[in-house]
Chain A
Amino acid sequence: MTGQTPLLEAKNLQCERDDRILFENLSFSVDPGDVVQIEGPNGAGKTTLLKLLCGLAPLRQGELFWRGERMSQARPQFLSSLLYLGHKTGVKALLTPLENLRAWCAQREDVNEERMMAALETVGLAGYEYSPCNSLSAGQQRRAALARLHVSSAPLWVLDEAFTAIDKKGVAQLEALLREKANAGGAVILTTHHSLHLSGEVRRIQLGAAS
Chain B
Amino acid sequence: MQLNILKKKGEIYKAEIIESIPEGEDVSLYFHGDWHDLCRGPHLSSTGKIGKYFKLTKVSGAYWRGDSNNEMLQRVYGTSWSSQKELDDYLNRIEEAEKRDHRKIGKEMDLFHFREESPGSVFWHQKGWSLFQKLISYMRMKQETAGYQEINTPEILDRSLWEKSGHWEKFGANMYTSTTPDEKVFAIKPMNCPGCVQVFNQGLKSYRDLPLKMSEFGKVHRYEPSGALHGLLRVRAFTQDDAHIFCTEEQITEECLTVTNLILEIYKDLGFEEVILKYSDRPELRVGDDQVWDKSEAALLEAIKATKLEYSINKGEGAFYGPKIEFVLRDAIGRDWQCGTLQVDLNLPGRLGASFVDSDGNKKVPVMLHRALFGSLERFIGILIENYSGKLPFWLCPIQTIVIPISSDFDDYAKQVNSQLKKVGLSSEVDLKNHNLNYKIREHSLTKVPMLLICGKKEVDSNTVTIRRLDSKKQETMDLKKFLIKYSALNKAPSI
Q: Is chain B found bound to chain A in the same assembly?
A: no
